[in-house]
Structures are given as structure tokens and as C-alpha cells.
Amino acid sequence: MSRFSILTFLLLLFLSTEASVHDYRGEHFAAKGNAFVIHGGSEGIYSTTPNSNETSPSASNGDSYIRFDRVTFRRTKEFSNFSSWPIQAVVFEVEDRETIGGSAYGGQRAVCCTGDLAKLGVCAEGQVIYRPSQVNSDWPKVFGVPFETDDEVAVLPTKSIQITKTGMYNLYFIHCDTRLKDLAVEGKTVWKNPSGYLPGRMAPMKIFYQFMSFAFVLLGLFWFYQYVRFWKEVFPLQNCITLVITLGMFEMTLWYFDYAEFSETGIRPTGITIWAVTFGTVKRTVARLIILIVAMGYGVVRPTLGGLTSKVIMLGGTFFVASEVLELVEHVGAISDLSGKAKLFLVLPSAVLDVFFILWIFTSLSATLTKLQARRMMIKLDMYRKFTNALAVAVIVSVGWICYELHFKSNDVYNERWQNAWIIPAFWQVLSYSLLCVICALWAPSQNSTRYAYRGDDGSDEFDRDETTLTLIKPASISAKDVRIVPDARPVQGGNGVSNDDLEEDKRE
């Protein structure tokens, strides 16, 4: 597993792209119907801010554009002895997708102009078919360059397309010449929003992570203030919570700087992105492990996990690797969303492990609650009930949000709702933060916090046993002669039928 993750990490470093600078490195055209196509990118872009200063060097000068920078097409020498039809760049807003392509006499829809359509005079043979948009007759933008005889290279003219309407824009490189074999594209296009180089669907995340950084600072101040005040009363579980808060503060801050530099320079800082992803993955892994071991009673009603320690560590390590690979592939150097199949392949392991965590947590909580109630540890029982209720609410809300997310994506095939897409990842961060706040409120250091910690005189020896191990050997019967009666060992009953052991537990709590 570790070797695989290292290889993935190195591969991402090598293949990482530059922010919203879409870099083309020898991609080859693929046949789509009667055309040969390369997807050059798709991004949500906000319209140009009025009265923008076009000469300003700042990334936030109010301009919105798509700029073509030395986009070059190369063909092999053996197929360079003829003049070709033009290789065209087609830029269109998603609402105008139906303006691309056409058909003759109601036949099959085609992207390239056929001989029959050329005879009707609606297009030129060998070029992309398109109609002017009803909203703006200047769109879609279509321009191209042909290969002249013996030329191995054709370069698109360097130009900038000004964006005057907010929308999801798509770029495709298309040619219709079947004689062009192994044609490849090189160069880059720069996509810019008024506020910077962040793609439109990512732009709100910069403000969101700024807000979350401030929220974690507030939570950290509260927690560390309590920690310093009652440091003598701190027990191991509270140290683990301190670690999660610290990791969260680093994660939010790194994400903010990642998006800030992305927006300002147009180059995504690969190093910061990797650190942000790693801190986030470590935080999620540690948080899940803490919730699991708390559900088992560790640090509160049992001193160790016993034989379950190796299983808990194995589950945590597997979840870390699966989540780290998913997050690295999804964020490092990525501009467009992952394809459905690729994302499903990477999301599935993390989702299965999350389900396993949830089942194990609630199974352990049920056993712990039962034992606490049997031993009449009422203060700890009340705390665990609140903890269970908070987890149950979080799980129910998560399931509901997953259903909404599936509905959102299934009804947004063409990313037309891109301006609201940032809410989906932001929700999970808010939910995680809210649950952390509840845990901090329940286990905040205080002058009485040690009453929640494990004490050797709790009489909780059975919590230390491996609860997943079943005893297959029937215990032998005990004969009367093996029983030794100690006259003074019998518990004293109070007037209400409560033993002196229970009264001592209540006093301690």
C-alpha cells in the first residue's frame, strides 16, 4: 500500500498542470462521429467587470478572457505532403451547445460539414457546423488554421476571447480531415475570471477557507485556554482532541493560501496543495479513530483497547492511504472534475471504509452504553448518550446530503449549476467542524474533567477484554467445595436496595 501511494505521489508531481492555464502536451485527437476531437477545457467564468483596467498587471483587474498562447498542431512527416482542411478551435457557452453540429434532411446529427450539407449552402465542407447563438450572434467563437503542403506544424493565431456573459465555457479542438493521422496538439490556453485565475466554481472556496480558518482559530482559543487553565486535570483523550484541532487549523490555513496563490499567479502551488491534502487526510483519519476508540470506552471506562489495537490501527492506516490517493488525484494539478468512472474507482474504497467505521462505532457505543447503565455510572452514561445523539444526527444529515449531492450531479450533466457547486465540498467541512465543536463541548478540560477519565477503581475490568472474541469452550461447572465464602466480602445494602459499591461510584462521579 505504502509503495503504491509513493508512486502515485511522484506521478502527480510529474503530471501536475498549472492552475487555469490548460497545458496541452502532445494529446492526440479521438474520433467522435464524423469528427476528430480534443477537449481543451471547461470552466465557469464570470463576465468582465465594467470599467476594468485592461492594462493593469494585477490578476484581479476585472478582465475575463480565454487566451490562446502558441497552440500548435503537429503531424508526422509521412502525412505532410498535402494541404489539409482547417483544424479549428470551438469556444461556446454551455447554453449554446445545440448550436454546434447539424444534419442534412433531418438525418443523423454531424459535427463536420458533409458533402450533402455543403450542397445546401449552409456550411463549407470539412469545417465545423455551427449556428449563431440567439443570445449573442458573435458566439460561438470558431477559428482555425490549415496545414499547407509539406508543413509539419500549424499554429493557431494568438488571441484573447473576451467574456461578456457569465457562464460555463467549453473549448474543443476539432478537425474533419481523415487524412491527418497521429495529429497532436501542444501549447496552452489561459482562462481568467475578474477576481483572478481561479476557475469560477472554485472562486468561492477561497473566501470559505478564510472563514473556516477564523472559525478554527476561535475554537482553538477556547480549547487551549481551557487546556492551560486545567492542565493538571487533562487526560489522554483530551490530548487527542487537541491534535485534531491543531491539524484542522493547519489544513484550513494551507487551503486558503493554496487558493490565494492560485488566484493571484495563475499557477497552482503544488507543494502547498500536497501539504493541505495531507494535513486534511491525517485530520480525518485521526478524528475517525478518536471517535471509534471513544465509542469503545478508551480513556473513559477502559485503560487500553486490548487485542483491538492492531485492528484499529490497520483500519486507520487503510483509510489514510485510500483517502490520500483520492484527494491527491482530485486536487493536485487538477482543473476539471474527475470523470465519473475514475472518481467512482477512487471514491468507492473510502466510502466502504467510512461505512465500516460507522458500523463499528455504533456497535461499540451500544455495548459501552449497556455496560455503563448496568454499572450505574450515571455521569459517564449521560455524556455518552449526548455523544451518541450527536453522532446519530451527523450520520442522518450526512446520508441526506449524499442523496442531495447525487440528485444535484445527476441533474447537472453539463455543469450549468457550477456557481453553486462549491457548496457540496464546503458542507462536509462545516459538518466535520460542527461535530468537533460538540466533542470539544463534551470533553472540554475543566476542574472536574478527570471524573470522565478511566480510574482503576471503576471496577471496569471487563472493558479491557476483546469484545469481538467469542469463547468457544464451555466453562466447567464449579463444585460447592471450590467456593470459598468470605463473610465480610458481601456488599452492604442501603435502605433503597443500592449497594455500597454503587454509592461509591456515584460519590466519585
* Cα 283 from Cα 248, distance rounded (Å): 6
Q: Please choose, from the candidates 265, 178, 238, the residue with its C-alpha nearest in 3D space to the C-alpha of residue 439.
A: 238
The answer to whether residues 76 and 152 touch, using CB atoms and an 8 Å cutoff, is: yes
Q: Please choose, from the candidates 48, 46, 27, the residue with its C-alpha nearest in 3D space to the C-alpha of residue 36.
A: 27
Q: Please choose, from the candidates 359, 223, 231, the residue with its C-alpha nearest in 3D space to the C-alpha of residue 291.
A: 359
3 state DSSP class of 191:
strand
Find out if CATH 1.20.1070 is the number for domain 203-458.
yes
Q: Which residues of the chain have pLDDT under 50?
A: 1-19, 52-57, 338-339, 459-509
Which sequence spans correspond to the domains of the chain?
A: 21-192, 203-458
The secondary structure of residue 195, as a DSSP letter, is: T
The answer to whether residues 75 and 185 touch, using CB atoms and an 8 Å cutoff, is: no
pLDDT tens digits along 243-282: 999 999 999 999 999 999 988 887 788 899 999 999 999 9
From residue 335, give the alpha-carbon distance in Å to each of 342, 404, 417.
15, 24, 17
- The predicted model scores a pTM of 0.79
The answer to whether residues 141 and 160 touch, using CB atoms and an 8 Å cutoff, is: no
| Those residues with Cβ within 8 angstroms of residue 397's Cβ, 6 or more apart along the chain or in another chain | 431
pLDDT tens digits along 103-160: 766 666 789 998 888 888 878 899 999 999 998 999 999 999 999 988 999 999 999 9
- Sign for the CA dihedral angle at 483, 486, 489, 493 comes to positive
The answer to whether residues 187 and 9 touch, using CB atoms and an 8 Å cutoff, is: no
pLDDT at 107 (0 to 100): 63
First to last CA, the chain: 45
